[in-house]
Amino acid sequence: MQFIGPEHRAEFSRLIETLPHAVAHASGLFSVIHSSGGRLQVQLQALTLPDSPQDQPTFLLTLTNLTPLLAAQEAMQALNSTLEDRARESTQQLRGLADQFKYQARHDALTGLHNRAAFEEDLALALEELHERAEAFAVLFCDIDRFKRINDSLGHPAGDQVLQELARRLRTVIRPADHVARLGGDEFAVLLHGVTDQVLVSQTVTQLEEALGVPFDVSGQELFIQVGSGVLLVTAEYHSSKEILKDVDLALYQAKRGGSAGTRLFEPSMRNESQGHLELEADLRYALQRDELVVHYQPIVALRGGHLLGVEALIRWRHPQRGLLPADAFVPLAEELGLIGQFDAWVLQTAVRQLAGWPVDCALDRPLWLKVNVSAAHLKQVAAVTAPLSSSSLPAPWQVLIEITERVLTHPADTDAATLQTLRAAGVELVVDDFGIGASSLSSLHRFPLRMVKIDCSFVASLDQNRELVRTIGVIGRSLGLTVVAEGIEIEVQRAHLTQLGLTVGQGYLFARPLPAEQLGAHLHSTLKFP
């Protein structure tokens, strides 16, 4: 028994003792001590030989080494345990990744808000509650006023900071049950539950405006942000989130038509306006190639004596169904569509070409002005502005003046002073239009190579309230060597008062409305009699 492991010797003895009484054989698992001192796991089988005497039975003992098999089983169990652990870890990782992917699929990476897909799901659930339990709700859709300017002037990282801060402030003004999402770009949407009228929406808009009243700190620079907002009170007539988003987007478009921030409540009539807008957009894309654009000219005259000093070229669209449309009816749309550069170039080329056929006395002792409006985007393309002038045979009395908006003076990202200097060196004189309604100051005029300043017509229309301002603009303009023009003169009283204030040049319906080229040719030699 010495070869049996100590822990198994008692069990081995009991096995041997039971053999004479066993049916034929017995077996068990034991550890045995190898001659080398190592341990082996063996299976012992004891068999009583059938021919042995009963009083002295003979046994056959068989030992089978199970050590390799048991080691393999242990290794397999350990492997299975490891595989199970790894499987559990992999399952947890996969669940984590699935949760992460699910989160990313429903949230905006920049702001952490719901994205468009998630917001449409939120709207779909709100619609179900509206149809089943009459749970009313409203949707607020907003975007940042002139956000592109922030990206262009300060860079996209600064724009991202603004979006993140706006998202944070939006969270502070909505209730816990409401939903806010970033739909893309600078567009944000808010779902307001339990709203039956415009009161709660107005409160939310007011709170948002108050939150935006605090300047944004972007890389150490303070920015004041405004948003335009469209509002929709959702009713049972809506059956999909896409219908809701379409109509609230129309309300936002109407809010921003004026070019600045504001809020508009959706009205069904906006759908017809939108359809008309789409039709106008489609027509405008072909207006140039269909030869539907025309140029009209409004005289610029001396306020004393009434003699002609020049003309302003104004674009018009002879629409086949809507008739003759003024610039403000389609130029903003042309800017949206990226067509304004083509239109600007066409007006300049057409006006210069038509000048050659006008019966003007070339012996005049003063130049006549041809004033043409050019957008800030087209103004950057110096060659495109100067090419029509260098390639034309411009009659001697005429001098081309390019008209820019006051915004160009106040927003360096639009057009810088170097570009204006280059244009001036190329022989292009510059005019500032609508001066006084923007943010520029009179003192800023000396920093730019200007020839003329036009006082906005709103000051002329309310001359009694703006007399001193108009006088000041005239005095400072003349001190800088600029010609100051008063536009929008419609009645004789206005002309007389402007003359008393020291203004010498003007234009408006009192002198002539904008005229086609063929009618203006006959008008050039007419004499306007003023004291």
Q: What is the pLDDT of residues 310-350, one digit of tens each?
A: 899 999 999 998 899 999 889 888 888 888 888 988 998 89
CB-side neighbour CA atoms (13 Å) of 221: 12
Question: Rounded to whole angstroms, how far apart are CA atoms 116 and 9?
Answer: 77
Summarize the confidence of residues 49-72 as an average pLDDT.
Answer: 74
User: Considering the domain 116-267 in this protein, what is its CATH number?
Assistant: 3.30.70.270
Q: What ranges do the domains of the chain cover? A: 6-65, 116-267, 291-523
pLDDT band of residue 161 (cuts 50, 70, 90) is very high
**Residue 398, token pair as written in the block:** 């005429």
Higher per-residue pLDDT: 356 or 415: 356
Residue 314: predicted pLDDT: 94
pLDDT band of residue 292 (cuts 50, 70, 90) is very high
Instruction: Evaluate if pTM is beyond 0.75.
Output: no
Q: What is the pLDDT of residues 37-53, one digit of tens each?
A: 677 777 777 777 777 67
Q: At residue 476, does pLDDT exceed 80?
A: yes
CA-based torsion, 385, 428, 406, 441: positive or negative: positive
Higher per-residue pLDDT: 289 or 528: 289
Residue 430: predicted pLDDT: 84
Q: At residue 195, does pLDDT exceed 60?
A: yes
pLDDT band of residue 439 (cuts 50, 70, 90) is very low
Higher per-residue pLDDT: 122 or 225: 122
pLDDT band of residue 496 (cuts 50, 70, 90) is very high
Question: Rounded to whole angstroms, how far apart are CA atoms 124 and 105?
Answer: 17
Residue 47: predicted pLDDT: 72
Average pLDDT of the chain is: 81
Summarize the confidence of residues 11-30 as an average pLDDT.
Answer: 65
Summarize the confidence of residues 382-399 as an average pLDDT.
Answer: 67
Q: At residue 453, does pLDDT exceed 80?
A: yes
**Residue 473, token pair as written in the block:** 């603009």
Residue 261: predicted pLDDT: 65
pLDDT band of residue 392 (cuts 50, 70, 90) is low
Residue 258: predicted pLDDT: 56
Is 242 in a helix, a strand, or coil? helix
pLDDT band of residue 363 (cuts 50, 70, 90) is very low
Residue 67: predicted pLDDT: 77
**Residue 521, token pair as written in the block:** 């040719």
Residue 196: predicted pLDDT: 78
Summarize the confidence of residues 81-93 as an average pLDDT.
Answer: 82
Burial 68-96 (b: 16+ CB within 10 A, else e): eeeeeeeeeeeeeeeeeeeeeeeeeeeee
Q: At residue 468, does pLDDT exceed 50?
A: yes
Q: At residue 1, does pLDDT exceed 70?
A: no
Report the share of the chain in percent with pLDDT over 70: 82
Question: Rounded to whole angstroms, how far apart are CA atoms 389 and 352?
Answer: 7
Summarize the confidence of residues 153-159 as an average pLDDT.
Answer: 85
Ordered alpha helix ranges (H), 180-230: 198-212
User: From 3.40.50.20, 3.20.20.450, 3.90.580.10, 1.10.580.10, which CATH number describes the 291-523 domain?
Assistant: 3.20.20.450
Can you give the C-alpha Rg of the chain in angstroms? 44
**56-60, 152-156, 246-250 — which is least confidently predicted?**
56-60
Higher per-residue pLDDT: 407 or 482: 482
Give the chain's largest Cα–Cα span: 160
Q: What is the pLDDT of residues 396-411, one digit of tens each?
A: 667 888 887 766 665 5
| Residues contacting 229, CB < 8 A, separation 6+ | 140, 141, 142, 205, 208, 252, 255, 261, 262, 263, 264
